[in-house]
């Protein structure tokens, strides 16, 4: 066989598939949540459009979870598989050039082909931020729940600790399209702490996983306790009102 033919065949060798894990930060305000929705701007949809364009064919971007419309992230984790051989640093820069300023890829790395950001996650941490001052700065407004009304904060802090441990959180979950699959709504909360930081109440919760609207409903329950409507001992059987999405941030995901 002529040497040229051999070289030609080598040049046609298929490129290897790469599994890429990225960590994202985003302002969830301009988006209708993580999950793709026809005709609406979403985090997943925006990423898939960009990565698919770079790959030249459709690419699915899986996330560690489906943040609600208006929820923010400091450390959302996502992954996708591509054949494009672009170096990781160049990939991160290229995607960030094409993304809107409200979404940033903070890091990118190659991982095992079987890695899944949702199913492999061991724990997630969320923060909910409440502004307690009378006047909320317009620069803070998009990222906090402004609640200047009287609250018994000590009672709220005691109730936060009650959420720790393994519980059935069905009462704190909004209806979900996955409910028909019959999955358990038992989750383990490793830590649940409410603290005061100057004019902010910060609720920080770390758990094995979270149901739809679960953290926002936990915060709503804490607020009801602060208003004196719910006790601060014993696991609550009913949830308070769902708190606004804009106060919630996905801080990080552990593997």
Q: Which long-range contacts (CB under 8 A, 24 or more apart) does 105-109 make?
A: 105/22, 105/23, 105/24, 106/22, 106/23, 106/24, 106/25, 106/75, 107/22, 107/23, 108/20, 108/21, 108/22, 108/23, 109/20, 109/21
Among 212, 170, 177, CA closest to 66: 212
Distance set, CA 53 to CA 36, 60, 95, 184, 204 (Å)? 16, 12, 10, 38, 38
State the CB neighbour count (10 A cutoff) for residue 57: 8
Residue-wise over 166-177: b if at least 16 C-beta within 10 A, else e? ebebeebbeeee
Measure Cα distances from 29 to 42, 52, 218 in Å: 10, 24, 21
CA–CA gap between residue 131 and residue 119 (Å, rounded)? 34
- Catalytic site residue 5? no
The position carrying tokens 């066989």 is: 1
Please tell me the distance from the alpha carbon of residue 221 to that of residue 240, in angstroms, as a whole number. Answer: 4
Q: Which of 27, 68, 176, 177 is catalytic?
A: 68
φ, ψ for residue 104 (rounded to 5)?
-130, 140
Q: So which residues are the catalytic ones?
A: 68
């Amino acid at each position: 066989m002529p040497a040229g033919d051999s070289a030609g065949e080598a040049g046609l060798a298929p490129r290897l598939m790469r599994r890429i894990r990225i960590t994202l930060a985003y302002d969830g305000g301009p988006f209708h949540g993580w999950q793709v929705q026809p005709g609406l701007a979403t985090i997943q949809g925006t990423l898939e459009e960009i990565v698919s364009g770079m790959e030249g064919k459709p690419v699915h971007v899986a996330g560690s979870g489906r943040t609600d419309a208006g929820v923010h992230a400091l450390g959302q984790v996502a992954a996708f598989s591509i054949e494009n051989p672009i170096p990781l640093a160049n990939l991160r820069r290229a995607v960030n050039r094409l993304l809107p300023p409200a979404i940033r890829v903070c890091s990118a790395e190659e991982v095992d082909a079987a890695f899944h950001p949702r199913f492999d996650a061991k724990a997630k941490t969320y923060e909910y931020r409440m502004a307690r001052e009378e006047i909320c700065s317009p620069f803070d407004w998009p990222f906090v729940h402004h609640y200047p009304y009287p609250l018994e904060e000590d009672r709220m802090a005691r109730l936060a600790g009650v959420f720790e441990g393994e519980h059935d959180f069905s009462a704190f979950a909004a209806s979900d399209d996955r409910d028909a699959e019959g999955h358990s709504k038992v989750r383990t909360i490793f830590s649940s702490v409410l603290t005061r930081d100057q004019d902010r109440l910060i609720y920080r919760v770390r758990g094995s996983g979270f149901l739809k609207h679960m953290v926002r409903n936990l915060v709503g329950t804490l607020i009801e306790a602060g208003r004196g409507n719910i006790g601060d001992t014993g696991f609550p059987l009913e949830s308070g009102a769902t708190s606004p999405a804009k106060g919630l941030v996905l801080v990080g995901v552990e593997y």
